[in-house]
Amino acid sequence: MNETAIQAQGLWKTFQSGWWRRRHQPVLRDLQLAIPSGTIFGILGPNGAGKTTLISILATLLLPDAGTVYVLGLDVRRQAGRIRKRINLASGAAKFVWSLTVEENLRFYGRLYGLGGRPLAARVEEMVSLFDLQEYRRSPFETLSSGLKQRLALAKALISRPELLFLDEPTNGLDPLAAQHTREEILRLNRQTGVTIILTTHNLREAEQLCQAVGFLGEGRIQAQGSIRTLQQQLGLGDRLCLEFTGTMPPLDYQQLPGVLRCRRNESHLDLILDHSASRLPQLIRQINAAGGTISAIRVQEVDLEVLYREFSR
């Protein structure tokens, strides 16, 4: 396996529309990207940042206007056919032919990768049980719930045993439980099979849970790349925690408490920026209580991707 799954340099893509008056909409501008094999890499950015465009170019569904792109060491322009044998894709809000059952859809997509006869039957069986679809194997796609459709989409994406898997907003439209289940599946896949996973999301928490590294896409370029924690710390950005006190605030060195990136305070109001509010909050409250403080109100505002995006765009 190559050490670099994706290598893109000077990547440009502009969409054109209109017959009479041509409109040009630049989406990717001189984008550079390198993703190592075997990792889960997140492409983050607000809506309209070009995440789907980028992933579609990497998945050979869209041709770039300029630049060089290598996927698994192969050129997306000249060796697309060879790339397609080794990749697959699943997207959120998955859609397949409505009246085909779970099994028929899996068989159809398996055959497109040249699987037939017993190997196909065995692989379909494997996918059906891996994604807990036994009960729904004869259910037409149109009758499945969003969560089941998403499981089928992941099963379809894995039927070909890809070395590189693209997940375009894989938890989009799922309820929190189904979304969490999908995330766990993605992590398990990466750990068990070593498949490289590239996912797009606008959910920072999801990226944090899944991705070893992320790239922030903005203004057509990767604005920053690294682990979310590192990037947050670099910028001093995090979840905002506002605490109101009854009486005097205990005299602690709040800036030095674990996970605190920034701190602002007045007599009865404490404003902290934490790297991760959910995991830090219980310990923080225990320390404040131990120091004799009485908290009357807590307000948590999770870090907003838009804020991160704006910071990186500066």
* Span from 98-106, 201-209, 232-240, 298-306 in contact with another protein (CB under 8 A): 98-106
**CA of 40: how far to CAs of 165, 166, 210, in Å?**
9, 10, 7
Instruction: Determine if 19 is a binding residue for another protein (CB under 8 A).
Output: no
Cα–Cα distance for residue pair 81/127, rounded to 1 Å: 25
**Per-residue string for binding with another protein, 99-138, x by CB under 8 A?**
xx---x--xxx-xxxxxx---x------------------
Q: How many helices (H) and strands (E) does the chain have?
A: 10, 14
Residue selected from 5, 42, 43, 53 as contacting another protein according to rule CB under 8 A: 53
**Per-residue string for binding with another protein, 273-312, x by CB under 8 A?**
----------------------------------------
Instruction: Determine if 266 is a binding residue for another protein (CB under 8 A).
Output: no
Query: Quick one: 61 or 252, whose CB is closer to another protein?
Result: 61
Give the pair of three-digit tokens for residue 32.
Answer: 């550079």
Instruction: Determine if 87 is a binding residue for another protein (CB under 8 A).
Output: yes
Query: Residue 68: phi, psi to the nearest 5?
Result: -115, 135
How big is the CA angle at 70 (ends 24 and 189), to the nearest 5 degrees? 105
Tell which residue, 244, 234, 277, 271, has the closest CA to residue 255. 271
Q: Which residues in 144-183 contact another protein (CB under 8 A)?
A: 156, 160
What beta strand segments (E) does 227-294 contain? 239-245, 260-265, 269-274
Residue 144: what residue type? L
CB of 73 to another protein, least distance (A): 17
Give the pair of three-digit tokens for residue 51.
Answer: 């995440």
CA 239 from centre of chain: 19
Q: Which residues in 186-225 contact another protein (CB under 8 A)?
A: none
Instruction: Determine if 89 is a binding residue for another protein (CB under 8 A).
Output: yes
CB of 115 to another protein, least distance (A): 7
* Span from 1-9, 53-61, 258-266, 291-299 in contact with another protein (CB under 8 A): 53-61
Q: Is the dihedral of CA 149, 156, 182, 221 positive or negative?
A: negative
Instruction: Determine if 96 is a binding residue for another protein (CB under 8 A).
Output: yes
Give the pair of three-digit tokens for residue 252.
Answer: 């602690």
How big is the CA angle at 103 (ends 98 and 109), to the nearest 5 degrees? 75
- Binding residues for another protein, rule: CB under 8 A, are 15-16, 52-53, 56, 59-63, 81-82, 84-85, 87-89, 91, 93-100, 104, 107-109, 111-116, 120, 156, 160
